[in-house]
Every structure is written in C-alpha cells, then in structure tokens.
Structure 1
Amino acid sequence: MLQGTQSWEFQNRPVILSSGVVGGPFEKNGRLSEDFDHFYDDLWMGEDSYEKANRLMIEDAVKLALEKAGLQENQIQFFLSGDLINQITPSSFAARTNEIPYLGLFGACSTSMEGLAIASFLVDSGGANYVITGASSHNSAVEKQFRYPTEYGGQKPPTAQWTVTGAGYSIVGSGTDVQGPVPRVTSATIGKVIDMGLSDPFNMGGAMAPAAADTIASHLQDLGRDPSYYDLIITGDLAKIGRKTAQELLQQKGFNLTETQFQDCGLLIYGQDQPVQSGASGPGCSATVLYGHLLNQMKKGVYKRILMVATGALLSPLTFQQGESIPCIAHAVSIEYS
C-alpha cells in the first residue's frame, strides 16, 4: 500500500458512495450553486451564534449523505470531521448529536482531504465498512476568530480571501455491491509542513503555494506518474496569487501543468461579480466543491481522473500575535470514475 515515501495506493479502491453539500446565502449566488443540496437564507441559520450555525451545517450535510446512501448512523463505524473554530467544537458538537465514533481532525483548510485519505485507508484496510468524512467553515465565525468581526467593517487588501460558508461530507465504503461506474479513491499523498517564512495572514494563498507544489510533486514521484495522467489537478484554496505561485514552483520542479488542467476551488466557487478579493478559502471550500461540483462533473463524464489537493495554513490567532510565520500543509487524494 505504501508507495514511495509519503503516498498510499489503495488496492481495493474505496468508493465515495454519497455526499451532502450545504451552503450559506453568499454561496447561493455563486457560480456552483446548482451543485449544492441545500442553502440557508442567512448566516445565523436559526441559531443564536455563528459557531452553532457552523455545527448545524455539519449535522445537515451528514444527514443528507446518509439519506442518499440509505444508511443509518448506527451503520457507520467512524465520523471524521474538522473545521476552523477553536478546538473544532462545531465538529465535536455535531459528533455529540450523531453519536458515531469520532475522530476530530485539524489541518485547517487541508482537513477535507486529510479526512478523505484517512477514511479511505480505514475502508481499504478492512478497518471499517463505512466512514463519514468532511469539513466545514463559516465566514462570520472565522472572521470573528482570526481577523475582525464583520460588523467592524475592516478593510482587506487584494491578497485576502473570502471564507466559504459551507459544509461538504461524504460516505466512503468498499462499494463491493455497487453496480456501474462510481467515484473510487485510488491513492493519497500525505503532505509535509512547509514554512517559507511568510507571516501575512491576509496572503494565505502565497503562504500555502509551496506546500501545494511539494505535495503534488511528491505524489507524482511516489506513484511514478506524469501530470497528464490526470484530467484535472485542483488545489483547495490557493486563489489567484497562490495558484500562480504554485504553478511556477511546479515548473521549476519539472512539472508543466496547463491552465485548464491546473485549477483551484477558490477560483471556481464564486462568480466574477462577487467581491471576494483574491478568491475563496476555508475547509468548506474544497469540501463543497469536491463533494458537489467535481463529483457531478465526473458523473457527467467531464473528468475521469482528478487529483484533489487541499491546502491549509496552520496558524492560530495566538501564533500570529506572537509574530510566528505561517506553517502550511497540503494533502492530495486521487479519485477515478470507473
């Protein structure tokens, strides 16, 4: 199963059986709105705090995934989840609700693929029959914790990104009784923490780009693949600046990816008329784009093989206040429709 130094190749090719994708009012007006299952009319979502609203999104996305798969909570062995709020409390409180054995994950915006990689490992090795995995973020909750409350009206530079309000969750299973083509997880590469000394919390894309390039290069080298093996190599939330930087770094490593082949979720989810500065970010960005838009595109035959590379900045409000630089990471998962 281990390939090279940091990759897994899954012999049994676990299947993404179903997914649930929910979003907020801003995402409803975005470019990929047709790929969401449900939208909330406001950021409060009927709760009395944004953090509770974040928890509600997770619960609803999980419920949707279960309904689509025709499964009950007691049939799921493990629930893998993460978000950006202190001590990932929205995920933990959602786990309190569904009562599924729980593994809380924090990889910042890379959490979605950290979860899918581990879920696939568990199913492939026989450690579980079904695993629910995913990630979420809430714009107002994240702004309040990492920057300024939205009511403050603080100005942001062009390098800043807009945190997605959304949750994307999937059920991973062996799929031995599934008929016809389905999205199968074929391999994963676990990234290394890369820190190039950047300390600007409003330039996350630039900070995360080296980690994305390192993981993509490691994945291709570990598995002995050329970039052309994939119809699409897509990062989680590098946005305008980070995507360009990562593409240049990959060229320096000898990997030439075309503009159409190398894309970014943070540049897909919103429309050109939405004021999101450099693009989108947040664990909910890659999770909603993959489990909604990209899986739908695979079902339509647009893509047969994709490499999803979720990127994360591993800072906290405390480390920023103490003058630390921003360590970053990226995890890659390959999905093939067969």
Structure 2
Amino acid sequence: MAAPKLSDIAKRVGVSTAAVSLALNKGETTRVGPKKRAEILRAAAEMGYYPNELAKALAERRTRLLGLVVPLRDPIFFNQFIAQALSGIQSTLMRRGYNLLIFSPSGKPGRETRDQIMESRFTDGLILINTRSCTSQDVTDTINELKTAGIRFSMINSYYGRAPINYVGVDDAKLGEAAANYLASKGHRKIAFLSGSATLPAHLELTKGLQRGLSKHGLKLPSERVGCTQYERERAFTILDEWFDNKRDQPTAIFTADEQLLLHLYDYIEARGLSVPEDVSVLARGNVGLGDRLRPRPTSLVIPTFRMGELAAEMLIDEIEKPNGKSQRVLLPFELAPGTTA
C-alpha cells in the first residue's frame, strides 16, 4: 500500500491540501482552527502518515545537516586532537537536533577543495578543523573562498588573523610564554622546543611566546634548540641526538608542541636509556586524556579540545538559526596539568 499523502488526508477531512500542510507543519498557525487542526492530526495518525523530512528541509531551505572538513591526509580518527574535537561537535549536534557529514580530504594538504566547497551547499554550514597540514596562507585562502561562496562556517584551531569569523582556539603565544615561565621558574636555562614544521601557524605563535617568556628571565631560545621534525619519528631522533651529543650545551628541558611529538620524545628517551626528569625535563602542550595513560605522567599545558568542538558547533548553529547575529572569536583558557616530568 502506498504511503498516504497530504492530499489523501485533505480528502478525508474535507479541507484543502494547504490547510493540512499548515496544521502538520505550523502548529502556531491561526489560519486553521484548533478543532479542525485536531481533526487533521487525528486523520494523519490513523492513516499512518509520516512527514517527508527531506522535502520539509528543502521547503525550509535547511537540512539540519552540518559538514565537517579536516584537511589532513592521515586517518583523522587516529588523531587525538581531532577525535576529541569531534566528540565535542557531536555532543552539541545531538543536543540541538543536527547531523554531521564528513568530507574526506582529496586535494592539497591543508586546504579544502573547490569541489568540497560546492558540495557543502547541501549542508546548512561547515565546521573546519585546522591541522598540522594548514599554513597561514591555506587558512586565509579557505576563509576567503567560503565567504565568497556565501557558506556559513565556524573554524577550530590555529587561526591568528582578525577576519570576523566564528572561531574557537587557544592563545598559543600566551601558552608558549607560560611554558617558558614554568620551566625557567624550575631553574632551567637551556630549554629546547620540539615542533612539527616551521611553516605552521601554531609553531610561529608558540615560538614567539617562548622567546618572549624566556627574555623575561634573561634567557634566549637559539635557533639550534628549535627542532622541526616534519612529524617524522626518524627526523625527531636525529634532532634529539644532535642536542644530546653536545654535552656542553645539551638541553635540560624540552617543550613539545603536541602529543605526537611527545610520543616521539618518549620513544627516544626509552631507546637511549635516558631518565625523566633526571636527564631531561619534559613539558608538553597537549589534550585532556592522553597524558593520564603515559608513564612517567607528563607535565602538560592542556588545551580544552572537547570544548572547542562543542562551542564551534554551537556558534555555527546559532548563526544558522539567527542569521543576523555577530560572529564570535573565542580563545579558551589552557591549564597546567601537573605530572612528574618537569
């Protein structure tokens, strides 16, 4: 038996199809009286009518579907930062009645493709998570293209420009300064920075903060104590060997830019038979959770990744549902998670 249509309900009740549509979809309408609306609803229930949600969404020009773009060639769910941000996004979407469509990366690392921009027109808006593949120019170009295309979006992580967009992140320059202050206050004078790539926006901000913080203690961050691994374990080992082979100037403390680099450092310490913090102290920039599973437990400056995702989704949905609102730029606080490594 074919599913009943609005016209079938209208015929049974003796009203127009338009009246049935109003009664079913606009409960606050005054164009259909309460008695007649109750009769329409009863007939719809008896006939087993279920609304076509896709047709309803198209009529309202809303799909209640958000897109997620993560410009990273590696499998994204193995990445702790992305997994936590995604959990936050999902938490908000479940509460506010939206679904998520994930766009798989297919173009240049660090950028969403023009095809993805066009495909995103089937969603109400996009959430973008900037990754270690994104340069400052990549992020700026993405923002400009989305604005030109008229697509609503919010962005997470590593944007330090001033465009009026919905953005959630942390102040990495301030975090770098806090790392320098913490290590210097523990008596360290030879501090090294293990990072990913010199082109990353977060690297530039963290370096700026480290230099600023160290200068307050009469210290410097020489270029030879900044190691960019390109997220390759072998390259990390080469850099660390260079630091520790120089007995007269080897670092007494190392600050790592993210958790993958921290894991590379832990692997190195184990492989070389070093002890933490006896041979070297370790301070990490990281997410909630991973540090609890590592031994020795790392001393970390923790960023609230789950909350980033949660808030980015809130901002985007608010813009969708209240189009005349202002964009928001939110920098969330980081916290020191005491460990035994620094």
Normalised to the residue count of structure 2, the TM-score between the two structures is 0.33
Greater RCO between the two (CA within 8 Å, min separation 6)?
Answer: 1
Structure with higher strand content: 1
Structure with higher helix content: 2
Q: Which has the higher Rg, Structure 1 or Structure 2?
A: 2
Normalised to the residue count of structure 1, the TM-score between the two structures is 0.33
